[in-house]
Each structure stands twice: as C-alpha cells, then as structure tokens.
Amino acid sequence: MEWQQSFTRLLDGTHTPSEDPLEHGAQLVVTDPDGGEVFRSALARCFRVEEDDPTLVWIRPILRGAVDPETGWYVFNLNLARRRCLHWASVTDGPGGGLVFRLVSGQVARVEPARGDELAELRRWDDFTLTLLTAEEERALEALEEDSWIGRFS
C-alpha cells in the first residue's frame, strides 16, 4: 500500500533529501474530535501492520528518557516505551509530507516529520538503541510483538 511506503520514509528519515537520514524522523500527534491535542511523541523507526487486520498498525512512541546518574548515559525505560496501535478507518496524505490516520475512536493521528523537542528525543533514542542495546534487544523492540519489556532498562 502506498501509505506504508510514505510511513516507512517518515520513520526512517528518508522523506527528505539528506546525507544522514538519522537527522530526520517522525512524530505522532493525536487530537480529539474537537481538535484538542491529547498526545505528542517522537516515533521509533519501526512499525508493523497486524497480519489479521490491515487497519491496525503497531508503532512505538518514544516517551521521555533521562540521564542515568550512575553511568551518565541518556537511557529509556523500555517498559514505558511500549508498542501502541493505530486502529484506523482511513489514511490520507497530510500537510508537509505526513500522513493523517482517522482512527475508529474518532480521534485523528497525524504522523509527520519530527521537529523540535520530539526530534531531539528521537536522536537520543537512536543513540540509546544503537549504542547500549544488544542486537537481540534491538530486534525485539523492532518486532513490536510484546506489550511489556522484561530485562535491562525496564
């Protein structure tokens, strides 16, 4: 599906010409039917469409991390950075190269190029996942199969 290609480009940072796609990424902004914003977060660079329901998309919003006082590393609690789903009724192109998911709940979820605080947090997430996680841990996160995290950084 065409929206999946656009979604992939947003998440992996190739939606804009750049020498380094890690300088770009995506954020999620959810609004209620009245237009009020209820959630905003950077998105990890992976998604998964549910095999049995193509209108259900698994994503990983990145909730704020913190500096570990023992190591000085910026880390994330992976039990808080859980997978979430977008259960959509329709998907359309949004402004600025983003996507607009009209959710079955009546809310609207915009996936758009990350900027500001969300882009800064995404860069910290990239550093955390690429530097501190094992390849096995990284694969487990990217699979978007589990609802909770058992192990390091929980």
Is 9's pLDDT higher than 80?
yes
What amino acid occupies position 49? V
pLDDT in tens, 23-66: 789 999 999 999 999 999 999 999 999 999 999 999 999 998 99
Judge whether residue 15 has pLDDT over 60. no
- Global model pTM greater than 0.85: yes
| Stated length of the chain | 154
Tokens 């999946």 — which residue?
A: 4
Range in 21-25, 104-108, 147-151 the model is least confident about: 21-25
Q: What secondary structure, in 3-state letters, does the chain show? A: CHHHHHHHHHHHCCCCCCCCHHHCCEEEEEECCCCCEEEEEEEEEEEEECCCCCCEEEEEEECCCEECCCCCCEECCCCCCCCEEEEEEEEEECHHHCEEEEECCCCEEEEEECCHHHHHHHHHHHHHHHHCCCHHHHHHHHHCCCCCCCCCCC
